[in-house]
Amino acid sequence: MNILETQSLTKIYGSGETMVHALDDVNLEIKRGEFVAVVGMSGSGKSTLLHMLGGLDRPTKGSVHVDGKEIFQLNEEQLTIFRRRKIGFVFQNYNLVPILTVYENIVLPIQLDGNIPDKAYLDQIIHTLGLEQKLNNLSNNLSGGQQQRVAIARALAFKPAIILADEPTGNLDSKTSQDVLSLLKVTSQKFGQTIVMITHNEEIAQLADRIIHIEDGKIVGGALA
C-alpha cells in the first residue's frame, strides 16, 4: 500500500518571462516502511518537492495523498494539525526551539496536539538515538550532530506516517553524518518508519532502499515503487 502518492504535482514560480517550473507534473509513489532518497542538483526542485509533500507549501496544480488523505483539501489549521500527526520533519539546520530542553523539544509535537507522550516508546527512541544524558540540556548547547539526533527523535515521537528529511547531514562533518545516517536507517528498520530524505550526495543516497532522481522539476528515475 502506498503511504504517499502524488499526482501531476506542479509548482510554478513567477509568470511570463520569469516563469519557473520548480516542479513539473510529478507523479510519485512511496510504500509504507520504505527509506527513499531524493537526489538532485541544487535548483532541481527537490526541496520544493519536499515542502509539497509536507504540506508546507501549496502546489499550483496536482495533489498529494498522505496515508490516503488528499492534504491540500484541508485548510491551513487542519493542515497544521494533520502535519503534526502524520509528518515528521528533519531539517538541515535542526530547527530546535532554543528555549526548550531536549526532552521538551522531542515531545513538543505530541504536547501541541494535547496528548501525553507514550513513555515507553519515547524511551526506546531516546535510547536508540543515545540522548539519555542530554534530556535536560537546552537544545542550543548541543553539538550539531546531537541537535540533529534530537530533531530525528522529535520527528519520530509522534509515530508519523512519513519522516521528511531535508539534507539532514548538510551541516555535519562526515563522521557525524555517518552516525546520523545510520541512525536514520536503523529507525527506518526498527520502527518500520517511512523516510523520504533529500540529498545532493549520491554516496549518502546509496544507504536508501530506493533512489529517486530529479532534474529540472521532473523525476527522471525511481518514481514508482
Partner 1 sequence: MIKVKNNKVIANLAKRSFQSNPTRNCIAIFAIALTTMLFTTLFTITGTILHSYQQATFRQVGGDFHGGFKYITKEILDTLSKDPLIKESGARLILGMPADVPFHKAHVEVSYMDEVCVKSSFCIPDVGSLPKEGTNEMACDTRVLKLLGIEPKIGQQITITYRLGLDTNSAKSVTDTFTLSGWWNYDAASYASHIIVPLSYANNTLASYEKIHEKDKTGSWTLNVYLKNAAHIEDDLNTILERNGYQSKDQSTNNYIGIGINWAYVGAQLSQNIDAGTFILILLLLLLIIFTGYLIIYNIFQISVSNDIRFYGLLKTIGTTGKQMKKLILQQALLLSTLGIPIGLLLGYLCGNILAPVIMSTLSYKNVFVTTNPLIFAGAILFSLVTVFISCKKPGKIASKVSPIEAVRYTERTNVKKTNRKNKEHLNLFQMAFANLSRNISKTVLVVISLSLAVVLLQLTVLFTNGFDMEKYLQKNVVSDFIVANASYFQTNADFFSQETALPEEVIKDLEEQGTFTDSGRIYGATSNIKEFTEKDWYYQLHGKYNDKDTVTQMLEGEDTKEGLVTDDAQLYGMEKYPLDQLTVVEGDLSALYDSSQNAIAAVYHTDDYNVLEPDSHWAKVGDQVTLRYVDTMEYYDPQTGEVVTDITNVDEASLALRPSTYRDITYTVAACVTMRHSMSYRYYGTDAFVLNAKVFQKDSNTSGIMTYLYDTTKETNAAMEAFLKDYTENIEPTLDYESKQSYMDEFKEFKNMFLLLGSVLSAIVGFVGILNFLNAILTSIMARQREFAMLQSIGMTGKQLNQMLVFEGLIYTAFVIGISLILSLIMGPMFRKVLESILWFFTYRFTLLPIIVVTPIFILLGIVLPLVSYRFSSNHTIVERLRKSE
Binding pattern to partner 1, positions 106-135, x when CB under 8 A?
Answer: -xxx-xxxx-xx-----------------x
Sites for partner 1 among residues 177-206 (CB under 8 A)? none
Stretch that binds partner 1, among 25-33, 65-73, 84-92, 180-188 (CB under 8 A): 84-92
- We find the least distance from the C-beta atom of residue 164 to partner 1, in angstroms, to be 10
95 dihedral zone (left: phi>0; alpha: psi -120 to 50; beta)? left
- We find the least distance from the C-beta atom of residue 132 to partner 1, in angstroms, to be 13
Please give the helix or strand (H or E) that residue 194 lies within, else none: strand 194-199
Cell (9 digits) for 201: 550526495
Nearest 5°: CA angle at 217, between 214 and 218? 60
Sites for partner 1 among residues 63-82 (CB under 8 A)? 76-77, 80-81
Interface residue with partner 1 among 85, 134, 149, 213 (CB under 8 A) is: 85
Distance CA 197, CA 203 (A): 13
Q: Is residue 44 near partner 1 by the rule CB under 8 A?
A: no
Contacts of 166 (CB under 8 A, 6+ apart): 47, 50, 89, 90, 91, 92, 198
Measured distance between the N- and C-terminal CA atoms of the chain, rounded to whole angstroms: 10
Chain residues that interact with partner 1, rule: CB under 8 A? 51, 54, 56-57, 76-77, 80-81, 83-85, 88-89, 91-93, 95, 97-101, 103-104, 107-109, 111-114, 116-117, 135-138, 140-141, 154, 171
